[in-house]
Amino acid sequence: MSDDSRWLAAAAALAARARPLSRPNPGVGALLVKDGRVLARGWTQDRGRPHAEAVALGLAGDIARGATLYVTLEPCAHQSPRGPSCANLICAAQPSRVVIGCMDPDPRTSGAGLARIRAAGIEAEYLSSPACEESLAGYLLQRTQGRPHVTLKLALSLDGCIAMASGESQWITGAEARAHTHAMRAKSDAILVGGGTLRADAPHLDVRLPGLEARSPTRWVLTRGLVPEGWNALAAPEAIREMEGIQYLFVEGGAGAATAFLKAGLVDRLLIYRAPILVGGRPGLRDYGLSALAQAHGRWSLVERRALGSDTLEVYSAR
C-alpha cells in the first residue's frame, strides 16, 4: 500500500467519528500531513457543519500552506447559506497537494471540486480508496440508488435459532456481544424491527453505552398498521427509498423482517453474532424464495471474524 493509500485509510477511520450525527451530510474525514507528520485533522461535525476540510484547515491555519490534504470525499464546490464551499477554502489555504479518496456523485460538486482546486494551481488527484468508499457507503447508496445502506443483525444459537420454541430470546448472546450491538446502533441513522418483535418484546432500541446515548437511532417498524408514539412505520422493505435523510439502516429482527429484506435483495452487510449454545427453537430466517442451492452461493463475502466473550461475530458483505 502506498503512503497516499495509508493516509486515505487513516482519514476514513477518522470519518467514523462523524456517524451518525453528521446527517443529513456524509461523514467525511480529512488529514493535513507534511513530512510524514499529521498537522491537523477534522471530521464532519454535528448536523453536517462545519465540513471535515474546514475543521482541519481551521486548526492548521497558516501551516496548511505547503502540506498535503487527504480527504475521503471530493471537497464540495457549491456555496451554502451555512458557509463557503470547501473547494474555495482549500484554494485560499494553498496546500501544495490534495488527495481525494472518493469522487462526489452530487451533481453540484461532481468533478467541479477537483477542477476548482487544480485551477488554483494546487496539485490535486483522485486515488480510488476502498477504505474511503466503505466509510461513505450510506451516502453513496443514497446518491446513486436513492436508498440507505442496510445492515442486518442476527443473534443466533449454533443451530441457527433466535429464540426458544416458547419465544424466549433474552439473552441468546452474552454481554460483550450485546455491547457491540449497541455500538453498531450508535453508528446508524435508523433501526428497524418487525411488527411481531415490537408486539412481543416492546424493545427500546436505544443506545445504552456511556456517553453515546445521544446517538440512539430513530425507531422504525416493518408494518402496514398503526405504530406507537415515537415509532415510524415502513410498509415494505422496498419503501426504504422513502426514508428521507437516512443513510444507514440497522435491521435488528426478527425472522420476518430479516427474511423480507433478504428476499428484496436489500441487505448490504450481515452481522451474525453466534452463541455457543443449542436451543432447538425458532429459526432466524424463514423461506425467502430460493429455488436452488446454487442461488445461495457467491452472495456473501466474509470480511471479519472476532470473538466477543464466549460468542463469535462474523461480518459479511454483499458481493
Catalytically annotated residues: 53
Residue 103 sits at φ, ψ, to 5 deg, of -75, 150
Give the cell for residue 155: 443473534
In angstroms, the CA 26 to CA 83 distance is 16
Closest C-alpha to 52, from 18, 20, 80: 18
| Cβ atoms within 10 Å of 80's Cβ, excluding its own | 12
Q: Is the peptide bond before 220 cis (omega within 30 degrees of 0)?
A: no
**3-state helix vs strand vs coil in the chain, percent to 5:** 30, 25, 40
Using an 8 Å Cβ cutoff, are 249 and 149 in contact?
A: yes
Q: In this structure, what are the phi and psi dihedrals at residue 70, rounded to the nearest 5 degrees?
A: -105, 125
The answer to whether 235 touches 226, Cβ cutoff 8 Å, is: no
Amino acid type, 29: G
Q: How many CB atoms lie within 10 A of CB 298?
A: 8
Cα 316 to Cα 76, 223, 268, 269, 300, distances in angstroms: 32, 27, 9, 6, 6
Residues 182 and 69: their CA atoms lie apart, in Å, by: 33
The SS3 assignment for 48 reads helix
Q: Which residue has the cell 440512539?
A: 216
Residue 303: φ, ψ to 5°: -115, -15
Please choose, from the candidates 102, 27, 116, the residue with its C-alpha nearest in 3D space to the C-alpha of residue 70: 102
